[in-house]
Amino acid sequence: MTLLITVFAAVISTALWYVKAPDSKMRLGTLSLMYWGASLMWLVDAVFEFVELKSEFFEPAPADMLNDAFLGLSAVALGLVVWIGIVLIKDPKNVIRGILVKK
């Protein structure tokens, strides 16, 4: 579930990056690469788990699925927080710099 949610986040952010490219200054590429990196790592985790559990891997308990879904959403939220932090620090549109200079 965590892998699925992260893959969806990676695909959506990549599609948004593609739509806005090449003029976008919002660093959507950074966000999508972060999600792809995590997705690939969780994919490896899932493969190892599948090798260990075999068919049981596809029959998780509802409580485990819910917990994994919460984890996936939290991971997506953390990625968004890091991304917005990078955007604000780098200030690609000079918005913050402009506000501070005005003051």
Residues forming contacts to another protein in the complex (CB under 8 A) are 2, 6, 30, 33-45, 47-48, 71, 74-75, 78-79, 82
To the nearest 5 percent, what fractions of the chain are helix, strand and coil? 85, 0, 15
CA distance 43 to 4: 9
Nearer to another protein, 41 or 99 (CB): 41
Nearer to another protein, 48 or 57 (CB): 48
Q: How remote is the C-alpha of 5 from its chain's centroid?
A: 9
Cis-peptide into 22, omega within 30 deg = yes
Q: Using only C-alpha atoms, what is the Rg of the chain?
A: 18
The least distance separating another protein from the CB of residue 33, rounded to whole angstroms, comes to 4
**In the bound complex, what is the minimum distance in angstroms from residue 103's beta carbon to another protein?**
33
What's the min distance (Å) between Cβ of 48 and another protein?
5
Please identify, using beta-carbon distances, which residue of 37 and 98 lies nearer to another protein: 37
